[in-house]
């Protein structure tokens, strides 16, 4: 990781230099982005970059944007965020969970700059948070997977045992169980967000052990390619990965940030920006499902119906009662379903997951 830090530092300096000296005379709004990975990761960071490009297209020459890629989480990011603020950016999006504390710290030093932190939970007068309800898409994937699996065994490549990943596994299983109560899932934790080789190895191991539908919570299209090689089915993650598995991809959860970026930038231009907490799902199109492919029409219909029901609010993936893997019913804090706090801090598996959460 050492190399990443140095690269990040170097890129940051260059970008700052460009941002500082290349500033035009007219007072344009400057919008900054901090990215975790390279813009070409074809996953998380790539989708944020797509969002930024959407913003540029929509706003034209009303704004200037700058992005810094490969910025490590932790102290390094604090420096990068501060540099963007110093260079005159009035709206700064920090796009990874680990930028949370650095964002809050820098925000307290620049009260006139507005900050937007992705996937975190700490806010301030000039810091908003935003994220996607990706578990909604996972529920649909669970239904499709259970319908399409011939052997009733799903393969799940997981990254780190944090609530977002765990709620994704649970949501998948709850969806799958509505179709096949005896559905099984094999889970491999690769302890990395991004290692194409390892993701491919995990996908091979799952396929070798008989899973015939693969899903992933890691960032590269490696698993999709293995599925294509083996002639089995899979779901894309973060972006539409159809070209890596034209005959394998069933659908993909696509992060669609552009509408949010456009709206928030307009708010700053109008002077109506306020600190908010946005957790958008299918309804607000922050989470979008890639086209449903490689499945018969009845499955496609189930998927679109489920999507419509979630959008309409008549179906919630975590509707009560939710039973954990030991058979204990989870307290229902929301209105007929688990509340957002319970989903955001989820650290248990639902009934039917035959695995242990690592380190628990």
Partner 1 sequence: MQMFEAIMLSVIAASTPLLLAAAGELVVERSGVLNLGVEGMMIMGAACGFAGAYVSGSVIIGALCGVLAGAAMAAIFAALTLGLAVNQVASGLALTILGTGLSGLIGAGFVGQRITPAPQLHLPVLTDLPLLGRILFGQDAFVYFSIALVIGIWLFLYRTRGGLVLRAVGDNHTSAHALGYPVLRIRMLAVLFGGACAGLAGAFLPLAYTPFFIPGMTAGRGWIALALVVFASWRPGRLVGGAYLFGAVTILQLHAQALGLGIPSQLMSSLPYLATVIVLVLISRTRGSAGSAAPASLGVVFVPDR
Residue 17 in contact with partner 1, rule: CB under 8 A = no
Residue 225 in contact with partner 1, rule: CB under 8 A = yes
Q: Given the complex with partner 1, which of 244 and 318 has the nearer CB atom?
A: 244
Q: Using CA atoms, how far apart are residues 278 and 160, in angstroms rounded to an integer?
A: 24
Q: Quick check: 43 and 238 in contact, CB under 8 A? A: yes
Q: Using CA atoms, how far apart are residues 332 and 104, in angstroms rounded to an integer?
A: 32
Within 10 angstroms of residue 145's Cβ, the number of other Cβ atoms is: 33
The residue within the footprint of partner 1, chosen from 170, 220, 248, 249 (CB under 8 A), is 220
Does the CA dihedral 164-131-322-345 come out positive or negative?
Answer: positive
Structure token pair of residue 2: 């050492």
Window of 25-33, 128-136, 137-145, 218-226 that interacts with partner 1 by CB under 8 A = 218-226
Q: Using CA atoms, how far apart are residues 186 and 204, in angstroms rounded to an integer?
A: 12
The residue within the footprint of partner 1, chosen from 32, 37, 132, 236 (CB under 8 A), is 37
- SS3 call for 213: strand
Q: Using CA atoms, how far apart are residues 210 and 320, in angstroms rounded to an integer?
A: 32
Structure token pair of residue 89: 């950016």
The residue within the footprint of partner 1, chosen from 176, 214, 222, 234 (CB under 8 A), is 222
Pattern 131-160, partner 1, x by CB under 8 A: ------------------------x-----
For the chain, give the longest Cα–Cα distance.
Answer: 65
Q: Quick check: 39 and 46 in contact, CB under 8 A? A: yes
Shortest Å, Cβ 72 to partner 1: 13
Q: Given the complex with partner 1, which of 301 and 356 has the nearer CB atom?
A: 356
Residue 208 in contact with partner 1, rule: CB under 8 A = yes
User: Nearest CA to 101 among 71, 81, 125?
Assistant: 81
Structure token pair of residue 165: 């990943």
Q: Given the complex with partner 1, which of 150 and 360 has the nearer CB atom?
A: 360
- SS3 call for 203: helix
Pattern 41-70, partner 1, x by CB under 8 A: xx----------------------------
Shortest Å, Cβ 11 to partner 1: 8
Q: Using CA atoms, how far apart are residues 317 and 140, in angstroms rounded to an integer?
A: 9
Q: Using CA atoms, how far apart are residues 221 and 161, in angstroms rounded to an integer?
A: 21
Residue 323 is given by DSSP the state: B
- SS3 call for 46: helix
Residue 187 in contact with partner 1, rule: CB under 8 A = yes
Pattern 289-328, partner 1, x by CB under 8 A: ----------------------------------------
Strands 29-34 and 249-255: unpaired
Residue 40 in contact with partner 1, rule: CB under 8 A = yes
Size of the residue set binding partner 1 (CB under 8 A): 47
Residue 339 in contact with partner 1, rule: CB under 8 A = no
Question: Which residues between 241 and 260 bind partner 1 (CB under 8 A)?
Answer: 243-244
Residue 209 in contact with partner 1, rule: CB under 8 A = yes
Question: Which residues between 188 and 207 bind partner 1 (CB under 8 A)?
Answer: 188-192, 194-202, 204-206
Residues that bind partner 1 (CB under 8 A): 2-4, 6-7, 10-11, 37-38, 40-42, 155, 161, 186-192, 194-202, 204-206, 208-209, 211, 220-222, 225, 243-244, 354-356, 358-359
């Amino acid at each position: 990781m050492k190399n990443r830090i140095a690269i990040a530092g170097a890129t940051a300096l260059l970008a700052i230099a460009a941002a500082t000296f290349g500033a035009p005379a007219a007072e344009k709004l400057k919008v900054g982005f901090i990215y975790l990975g390279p813009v070409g990761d074809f996953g998380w960071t790539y989708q944020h970059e797509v969002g930024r490009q959407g913003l540029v297209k929509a706003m034209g020459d009303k704004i200037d944007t700058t992005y810094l890629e490969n910025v490590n989480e932790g102290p390094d990011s604090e420096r990068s965020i501060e540099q963007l603020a110093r260079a005159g950016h009035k709206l700064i999006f920090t796009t990874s969970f680990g930028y949370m504390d650095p964002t809050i710290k820098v925000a307290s030093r620049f009260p006139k700059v507005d900050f937007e932190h992705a996937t975190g939970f700490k806010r301030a007068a000039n810091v908003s948070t935003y994220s996607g309800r990706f578990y909604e898409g996972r529920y649909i994937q669970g239904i499709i997977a259970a319908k399409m699996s011939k052997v009733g065994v799903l393969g799940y490549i997981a990254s780190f045992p944090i609530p977002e990943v765990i709620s994704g596994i649970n949501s998948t299983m709850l969806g799958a169980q509505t179709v096949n109560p005896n559905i099984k899932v094999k889970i491999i934790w690769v302890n990395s967000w991004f290692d194409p080789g390892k993701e491919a190895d995990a996908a091979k191991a799952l396929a070798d052990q008989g899973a015939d539908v693969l899903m992933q919570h890691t960032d590269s299209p490696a698993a999709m390619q293995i599925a294509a090689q083996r002639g089995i089915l899979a779901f894309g993650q973060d972006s539409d990965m159809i070209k890596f598995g034209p005959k394998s991809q069933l659908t993909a959860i696509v992060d669609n940030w552009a509408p949010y970026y456009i709206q928030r930038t307009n708010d700053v231009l109008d002077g109506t920006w306020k600190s908010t907490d946005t957790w958008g799902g299918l309804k607000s199109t922050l989470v979008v499902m890639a086209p449903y492919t490689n499945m018969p029409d009845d499955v496609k219909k189930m998927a679109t119906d489920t999507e419509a029901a979630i959008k309409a609010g008549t179906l919630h993936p975590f509707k009560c009662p939710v039973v954990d893997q030991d058979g204990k019913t989870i307290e229902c804090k929301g209105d007929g379903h688990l509340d957002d706090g319970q989903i955001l801090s989820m650290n248990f598996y639902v009934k039917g997951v035959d695995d242990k959460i690592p380190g628990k």
